[in-house]
Amino acid sequence: MTSNPQNQQKSERAPLRRLDILLATLTGPVSSTAFYEKALRKRHRVVTFGPYRDAKFWKDWGEGLKGHAFYRAGSAEHWEDVCTRLAKPCDIVTQPGMVDLRELKKQLPKDFQPEVFIWMDTHEWNLPFYMEALNCPSVAVFGDTHLHMLGNWDVWLSYAKVFDFVFVTFNKPHVRHFVEAGCRRVFWSPAACDAEAHGKIPSDKIYPVSFVGGTSTLHTDRVELLRFLLQQGIDLHVDSRVLQDMALIFSRSKIVLNTTIADDLNMRVFEALASGSLVLTNRLSRESGLEELFVDRKHLVLYDRDNVLELIRYYLSHDEERGRIAAAGYAEALGKHTYEHRVEQILETVWQHL
């Protein structure tokens, strides 16, 4: 069974009251898992569990950035500093790997009875089992499924089957793989933005075009595109920053460039829209869901490889039109596509199918 929570009407059984939610997550303050947790805590009582990733982990992570094609000096230290300062232990710290929920249940507060269990996609770091011990609906939220497909894809599909509900975020076309594997209820719940972390920062537009993101060996097409634009004389700022530092770069940009991999509707689309700047992103397949959520030339601008240069030059020289599209995209993102929207859509979908 597949569906799109974006299009579902609110059920009479929708969980409008405050729920006790058990959340399997990670100490990753810049990942989507942290934003889902933040959104859930605004309306619900949440207890988290997962392993703690310390300063050494984030130092190593930052060092890995130095191998990226467009590494900017200071980015490694930036990542290490921000993540080390903001990473906080889960409510219940567990060892990396498998987690027996029969044992974990004994560590929950005595007045806390899980009404929904949500597992955020944390790859091999946090793998709970014996979901039935919780006696409540179990939900898996899968993120980078295109990365899972590079490894033990069949194992991940088998793991997904133990959950009552599966939500796929970045790659809507991958819903069918979970359905074909025998998962009972599978839905698409797109990525989102956080108004505080990704929101508009009043500033001068000092960057004609910017790109913030990875340029590793996973991103060969992206690296090729960025090099092409620089060769064509485009004044392009490439960086790797997070949270408000990323939002500041976006806010200072006339155009925020996005380029995805594996036909995924990535977080950057939503985060860049939340900055109030014009988003120029690569055209995806109809199945990706991009054009279900946003209208080309109304909320953002879609490019193909053969017209990206032309579009950049056009919108750099048409300030009013660029500003009008950017404003519409900003309103659409904050009005419909925040993490608060997503978590309530997920919970409403669960309640509708119980």
Q: What is the pLDDT at residue 319?
A: 98
Q: What is the pLDDT at residue 12?
A: 45
Residues 203 and 169 in one domain: no
Which CATH number covers residue 248? 3.40.50.2000
Q: Where residue 10 falls among pLDDT bands split at 50, 70, 90?
A: very low
Domain span at residue 131 reads 2-52+87-192+338-352
Phi, psi of 116, deg, nearest 5: -145, 135
- Average pLDDT of the chain to the nearest whole number: 94
Instruction: Please state the rounded mean pLDDT for residues 184-203.
Output: 97
- 82 in any annotated domain: no
Residues 107 and 173 in one domain: yes
Residues 130 and 157 in one domain: yes
pLDDT digits (tens, 9 = 90+) for 110-130: 999 999 999 999 889 999 999
Residues 103 and 16 in one domain: yes
Residues 27 and 112 in one domain: yes
CA dihedral 127, 130, 132, 137 (to 10 degrees): 0
- 182 in any annotated domain: yes
User: d(Cα 173, Cα 169) in Å, to the nearest integer?
Assistant: 10
Residues 114 and 188 in one domain: yes
- 71 in any annotated domain: no
Residues 169 and 204 in one domain: no
Residues 205 and 149 in one domain: no
Instruction: Please state the rounded mean pLDDT for residues 82-101.
Output: 96
Residues 147 and 213 in one domain: no
Residues 146 and 215 in one domain: no
User: d(Cα 336, Cα 329) in Å, to the nearest integer?
Assistant: 11
pLDDT digits (tens, 9 = 90+) for 242-259: 999 999 999 999 999 999
Instruction: Please state the rounded mean pLDDT for residues 27-54.
Output: 95
Residues 21 and 159 in one domain: yes
